[in-house]
Copies of this chain bind each other. A is one copy, B any other.
């Protein structure tokens, strides 16, 4: 699972988080079966299973540094482990799998709410530009920014989607285009370099993107290319929305300056799907994310509503949302 995340076979902040939770559950299941098979000393075998779980958490934590949902999910799994120390290895594995299932179900519900809140922002049918992939292939189902686009479509408020191909990994061309084709949502694929041209031509009414980590002040790390889009929106007076679950916020980080930006392999830029597009020996940079300062963001669409991107509003919204969730669960 760790390799799948590193190699971006599973990608998208919410999908990575859930995949990691299942990864720990798988490690626990495997370890508990071995423990059952070799049982001599029950206490020793329990210790072995717990050690294996710790190792899995540590390994998964090292896969990708930028998206915070991964760390939030692993912390939640660790809490479940801590509260389940008296269970047998098999029961513990089952408990972790159930927790991962619960997180997956929550992700779908959260995305539906993000979609509803995001679509409510727009009164008239709009042409939306999006970057990267934030749909069913980046979450458990429905999506964040693509969830907003899906909701707009269902409500008859979507005129068109502009899909940035999203170099270097081409998530837009490969994944978002696939999802929109499958759903019959009208869209046009463009290279990232065309967005400004269509904005100037008055053909883009809004930009909606996802997020990998949002600092306490609203600064947002997301797929490389997002920041440039935000600047272009500012210049063209086009609203720029971030759509992300509350687990994307990292209140321990005051601003975007402290968000670690993953630097991926140069070969992912010099090659496209394994095919070289630059001469041998060329050095390429590959920051996988960039940071958009809060002042360029019109609003952040969460499962608790659309938040103005400033520290006070963010803290208040997350606190109120957390209380409400606690209430729902009680």
Q: Is the CB of B195 within 8 A of A228?
A: yes
A194 interface contact, C-beta 8 A: yes
Bound-state CA distance A193–B196 (Å) is: 11
Contacts A165-B269, A193-B166, A273-B272: A283 and B232 contacting too (C-beta < 8 A)? Answer: no
A174 interface contact, C-beta 8 A: yes
Q: Is the CB of B197 within 8 A of A287?
A: yes
Contacts A234-B235, A235-B235, A279-B181: A191 and B269 contacting too (C-beta < 8 A)? Answer: yes
Bound-state CA distance A278–B194 (Å) is: 17
Q: Is the CB of A228 within 8 A of B189?
A: no
Q: Is the CB of A283 within 8 A of B228?
A: no
Number of copies: 2
Chain A positions 150-200 with a Cβ under 8 Å from a chain B Cβ: 164-168, 170, 173-174, 177-178, 181, 187-198, 200
- Most central of A170, A189, A192, A270 by chain B CB within 10 Å: A189
Bound-state CA distance A181–B284 (Å) is: 13
A117 interface contact, C-beta 8 A: no
With an 8 Å Cβ cutoff, the count of chain A residues facing the other chain is 48
Contacts A192-B191, A192-B193: A174 and B278 contacting too (C-beta < 8 A)? Answer: yes
Q: Chain B residues with Cβ under 8 A from A284's Cβ?
A: 188-190
Choice from B177, B225, B277 contacting A282 with Cβ under 8 Å: B177
Residue of B with least CB distance to A193: B225
Contact with B along A263-287 (1 / 0, CB 8 A): 0000001101101011101111101
A141 interface contact, C-beta 8 A: no
Bound-state CA distance A290–B281 (Å) is: 31
Chain A positions 238-271 with a Cβ under 8 Å from a chain B Cβ: 269-270
Q: Is the CB of A191 within 8 A of B167?
A: yes
Q: Is the CB of A189 within 8 A of B270?
A: yes
Q: Chain B residues with Cβ under 8 A from A228's Cβ?
A: 193, 195-197, 228, 232
